[in-house]
Structure 1
């Protein structure tokens, strides 16, 4: 078995499956050793709708990423999203012996166990228990109590649960592809790990990842997550609205959105005309870019109203969240951020993944924040383990990547880059310079 610290992350989305093989270097930086993106049609709003289609896409993506890195993949971290994902913050008393004494590593472990000791409904499973702060003899707001003396110890944690049936469906789809699920990572946490800065985590920020079928929300303050939620609306619904409005098939609507879509119709010219071929008409239909924009603006405004409702939780009332960080492919829509600034009246920015070296050209893009974040979150928060075996495949030659003595490429190979470019929609191709 190879001694390097390799982790494999799979983002199983409504439109694509992205597999990233990440490797931690001796200097503790994390780099991409292999990457693969393939289309996926078996997911709906973050949940499995066609297990065979999902398994097929996972198998293809895993095999391509493994070939790219020249390794054999044994285990993976799988991203999890969907409206079944729920969260809450709770305080728990940490059982410990009587008397004033210093907090030890055993107490910290006991705190996490106490935070996760809760009654769950029959179809709920505990996914994450993330300590936020501690209270020592009534002194609140302690982030790291290790070594401090106290008689009583309490912990406040962010606890995330999911539906057992939905989790099992995704787990089985991955297992049927021939790889073991080492852990599932809730995607709002993953995306936040990939795009938020240290200042944003401290001062307060809302992360919104607009994916193909869902919009994932994570709120941070004082360096810790305070709220997570998932809305079952994403880029798929934007394209579906165009499909219905102009009576065209979904693929044509998706291309229409990519090439001519805008969420700011007032900035679009009436003279820019597009010819469509509705399924209900024999003759072509000519429309303006402004008409397309009106449909997309209404969907964008509706999504933002749904996000506002998710942020009206009582425990967020005193949290300063004057900045919103968007990521995900759906947030790249022209005019999207302009509407966000108007509706939320806060600072907004569009973020790309950070913290992963060697991302191929065309993948340092908001669409890949979740996949990058799954790898990073696993590296930083889960027990050390190696997800790959000895070299089984021969990596394709790379003009920009180099190899070390372990035989793993330090950048994704030219073969993988060619495949990624071929899959990217037209607008992304232009950005990538193809």
Structure 2
């Protein structure tokens, strides 16, 4: 049955998998994906081996998929704004459908250094000054597109193509930036229109974006996430991560100064010593990490915000923002209005955003799988054209008695 989509979220070492049929959820699965570190695929063989899980293979063999959408949250992501001239004339011209047809959806570009996964439109520029979203019928001497190109490391795209080949999938494969998907889907319309900074503190990586007038103008990532709170406590107290997670789940807070009732718990260190740990001590360690993370994010935003933009709103989301006091600390550091975004449903925010992104923003996707097909077909056409020309030359020469 067609209209089935396979959505894979690789924002952490725990891969989320969902099957949707006509946008209705059919089933879901979580599996541990080896070879992933901070959102980057560092070991291709281990990564592919992880997906030999019987439950995942049953899903692959049960459904006939129309396409695969893979959401990624790499710690290394880069963007570049680019203008491209559609026409330039001495006389004023009306922008027609033929001019717009030049703007066909591009395919993803994969090479040994970088992979282009999004060619996101920021609008159209008329005569080097006015930026509009729908220029059809307008007049200009110079007409340009204005786009934000989003790049990731090639190891991710290559590993995903290898995975698709390994499990025998022959449908189009699209790689989607979770940062872009969340920025467009999770952030509400008012904040996207007025302009805001967006911070999503995931399990392994914190994703950043600048949004203004419904457009995502900038994206970046910090290789710090919710797990760093747990790691910091394990390292500071010299305890194992299981006990550290228990302490974070029990006492997790970003504002220890607001704790009224001091609570303690006995914990055994790696050296075998019994230690008494208080909720205030746990909070102090977590606050230090959260303060550092938000300060780094603020520097990223300030260094990449156009001076013409006036932004005083911050939208936060992700599991790392759920601790008591994170919102308050965000207000203190940014001195902004802070909005906390939470979604409730069958799937996680990541799967929900990927599903809605694919539904409402299909023109922002670039198909990795189709790239090789198009290149192959192009080469075949070129080869056949040359052969046909040679054949015509021979026939022409024979007719002349050559």
Contact between 1:262 and 1:293, CA under 8 Å: does it hold in 2? yes
Match of 1:253 among 222, 230, 244: 244
Q: Which runs of 5+ in 2 are unaligned?
A: 366-402
Number of residues of Structure 1 aligned to a counterpart in Structure 2: 365
1:48 aligns with 2:12: no
Contact between 2:124 and 2:132, CA under 8 Å: does it hold in 1? yes
Q: After superposition, what is the alpha-carbon deviation per residue over 1:287-345, rounded to whole angstroms, capped at 9, x for unaligned?
A: 10000011100000010011012102354333232221111111112221111111111
Q: After superposition, what is the alpha-carbon deviation per residue over 1:117-147, rounded to whole angstroms, capped at 9, x for unaligned?
A: 99x9960222211111212234412111123
Equivalent residues in 2 for 1:139-154, closer than 5 Å = 139-154=129-144
Q: After superposition, what is the alpha-carbon deviation per residue over 1:76-133, rounded to whole angstroms, capped at 9, x for unaligned?
A: 111122232101223221247875443234423434679x999x99602222111112
SS in 2 for 1:213: coil
**CA distance 1:11–1:154, shift in 2 (3 Å):** same
Q: Which residue of 1 aligns with 2:78?
A: 86
TM-score normalised according to structure 1 size? 0.74
Distance 2:240 2:159 in 1: 29
Q: Which residue of 2 aligns with 1:292?
A: 282
Q: Which runs of 5+ in 1 are unaligned?
A: 25-29, 386-434
**CA distance 1:40–1:268, shift in 2 (3 Å):** farther
Contact between 1:111 and 1:154, CA under 8 Å: does it hold in 2? no
SS in 1 for 2:102: helix
Distance 1:62 1:10 in 2: 14
**CA distance 1:232–1:265, shift in 2 (3 Å):** same
Equivalent residues in 2 for 1:270-289, closer than 5 Å = 271-280=262-271, 282-289=272-279
1:168 aligns with 2:158: yes
Q: After superposition, what is the alpha-carbon deviation per residue over 1:370-410, rounded to whole angstroms, capped at 9, x for unaligned?
A: 2221222122232699xxxxxxxxxxxxxxxxxxxxxxxxx
Q: Which residue of 1 aligns with 2:94?
A: 102
Q: Which residue of 2 aligns with 1:240?
A: 231
**CA distance 1:112–1:170, shift in 2 (3 Å):** same
Distance 2:282 2:296 in 1: 22
Contact between 1:56 and 1:177, CA under 8 Å: does it hold in 2? no
Displacement after TM superposition at 1:245 (Å): 0.8
Distance 1:40 1:276 in 2: 31
1:63 aligns with 2:59: no
Q: After superposition, what is the alpha-carbon deviation per residue over 1:393-433, rounded to whole angstroms, capped at 9, x for unaligned?
A: xxxxxxxxxxxxxxxxxxxxxxxxxxxxxxxxxxxxxxxxx
Contact between 1:17 and 1:61, CA under 8 Å: does it hold in 2? no
